[in-house]
Chains A and B, each alone.
Chain A
C-alpha cells in the first residue's frame, strides 16, 4: 500500500472514510471473534467442569464474594436511602406517600440491585480477572496450557464465567436487601411513614415474578461480565501496558453491554409478564 500524497484533496476526503472503514471492519472482526469465543464458553459450560475446573470455580467464587459483598451492600444501602429521599416529596404531594414501600422495593429489586451489582462486578472483574488472565497470556502460561494439551477456554474461562453467573445473582440479593433496608430506614424512621403500610404496599407491589426478573437480569449480566473479562484477558496485548488496557476495555465493554442487556431484558420480561397474566396490569 502506498501512502497517498498528504497535500492532495483525495487524501483529505479518503482519510476519514478510510478511518471509518477500518474501524467498522475491526469492530466486525472483533465481534465475530468474540462470538466464537462465547460459543466455545457455552459449549464448555454444557460439557461441565472437571475436578480442576471445579476447584478453580470455587476459588473464583470466593474471591468475587469476599471482594464484592461489602461494596455491593454499602452502595445498595445508600442508593436505596437516597431513592426514598428523592421520591418522597413527589409522592407526598400526591398524597401517596404510603405507597413508597412498593416503589422502593420494585425499583431496587427490578433495577437498582441487579444493575448496581453488575456495574460493581464489571469493575472488580475487569480489574482482577482480566488482569490475571492477561498476565497469564503475556507470561506464556496460556500457551503452556495448550502445549500440555489442555484447553484454556475449558480450564480457565469456563470456571470463571460460571463463577460470575452464580455470584452475580447472589450478590444482587445482598444488594437488594440492603437497598430495601436503606429505603425503609428513611421512609419509616425519617419521613415518618407507617411501618405496616410500608410493608403492606411492598408486598402487594412485588410478586415472585418481579423478584425473578431482577435475578434473571443479574444472571445474564454475570454471563456477559465473565465472558467479556475472559475474552479481553485472552486477547490481551503484550507487556504491562497491554494488561492495563485490557482491564479498562473489559470494564467499558461490560458496562455498555449491561446497559443494553438491561433494556432488552426489561422489554422482554415485561412482555412475557403481560402474556402470562393478560388481565393483570403491571403494578404501578
Chain B
C-alpha cells in the first residue's frame, strides 16, 4: 500500500492501518485500513455483528488490535498504556451503543462526570453545561432523574449529552438515533451536522438508520465480515452496483437471508 506523504495538507485525524482483531476464533476486523478525515462526518454501516462497535473502541484504546496500527493525529496509539491514553481520551467523546450511563448517578451527575473528572471546579460552570447540553438533546429539566427512570430513547440522549459535554474534537456516535422516534432522530441528525459545522467536530457515526446516514455523512463506509466493502460519498454509495451494498441500503433481504423462514 502506498503511504500518503507526510506533507499532505489534509492528514486524516484517525487512521486504521491493516488492523486485525479477533475474539477467540471469531475474526472481527480483517486487515482493515481506513482514513477518517478531520472536520467531517464518516458514517459506518454494516450488518449486525460486522464489527462496527469494535472498530469504534479501537479509536479510544478500549480494544487493541492483534496486529496493525491505529493512529490519532499521526500518533500511534495502540501500544499506549491506560495512563498514556488519557490525554487522547479527553479529546474524544464516546456515545456507547447502550448508553452506558452510570446508574448510581443522576442525569446531571452523569453529564458532569467528565467535567469534574477533568478538574473543572466551578459549580456554576458545570450546572451551565448540564442544562445547556440537556436542552440540546431535548431533555431540559431532567437533571435530577435517575437513569433507571428514563425510557430507552431518553437514556440514549442523556448519553449523547454526556459524550459532548467536554466539547470534544472527535465524537464517536454508536447508533445515535436507534430507539428514537423519527422526529427526535432528525433532531439528533441536525445536532451532528451542527457540531460539525459550528464546532468543527470530527464525527464517526455507526448507524443502521439509512436516512440518517445519507443526511449526516460526508463519507460512508460499509463494513462486512471485518472488511470494508464500499467507501464513498453518499452519492457514490447510492449509485453503487455492488449486490451487498444495494441490498443493505435498500433494506431488502435476499434469498439466503430468508431461507430459514421457508421452514415455518
Contact = CB atoms under 8 A, between A and B. Distances in A.
Interface string B85-117: 111011010101110111110000000011011
Given A149-B85, A149-B86, A141 B102 contact: yes
Given A149-B85, A149-B86, A149-B90, A143 B62 contact: yes
A151 B83 CA distance: 8
A140 B100 contact: yes
B89 A149 contact: yes
Nearest to A151: B82
Interface SS majority for chain A: helix
A223 to B, nearest CB: 23
A40 to B, nearest CB: 10
Contacts of B118: 149
B48 to A, nearest CB: 16
A38 to B, nearest CB: 17
Given A52-B116, A143-B62, A148 B89 contact: yes
A150 interface: yes
A146 B82 contact: yes
A147 B89 contact: yes
User: What DSSP secondary structure best describes chain B's contact surface?
Assistant: mixed
Contact of B117 (A132, A139, A148): A148
Contacts of B117: 52, 148-150
Interface residues on B, range: 20 to 34
Interface in A77-98: none
B96 A144 contact: yes
- Tier of interface size on chain A: 10 to 19
A140 B89 contact: no
Contacts of B206: none
Given A139-B100, A140-B100, A146 B62 contact: yes
Contacts of A136: 102-103
A2 to B, nearest CB: 14
Nearest to A146: B62
B200 interface: no
A147 B94 contact: yes
Contacts of B96: 140, 143-144, 147
Question: Which of A52, A136, A140, A150 gathers the greatest number of chain B CB atoms within 10 Å?
Answer: A140
B60 interface: yes
A147 B62 contact: yes
Contacts of A146: 60, 62, 82, 89
Interface in B59-93: 60, 62, 82, 85-87, 89-90, 92
B57 interface: yes
Given A149-B85, A149-B90, A151-B82, A141 B116 contact: no
A52 B114 CA distance: 12
Given A147-B62, A147-B94, A150-B117, A141 B85 contact: no
Nearest to A142: B100
A144 B94 contact: yes
A147 B103 contact: no
Contacts of A144: 94, 96, 100, 102
B85 A148 contact: no
Interface string A117-140: 000000000000000100010011
20 contacts: A52-B116, A136-B102, A139-B98, A141-B100, A141-B101, A143-B57, A143-B62, A143-B100, A144-B100, A146-B60, A146-B62, A147-B60, A147-B92, A147-B96, A148-B90, A148-B94, A149-B85, A149-B87, A149-B117, A149-B118
Interface of A: 51-52, 132, 136, 139-141, 143-151
Interface of B: 57, 60, 62, 82, 85-87, 89-90, 92, 94, 96-98, 100-104, 113-114, 116-118
Given A147-B89, A148-B90, 9 more contacts: A51-B116, A52-B116, A136-B103, A141-B103, A147-B92, A147-B94, A148-B117, A150-B117, A151-B82
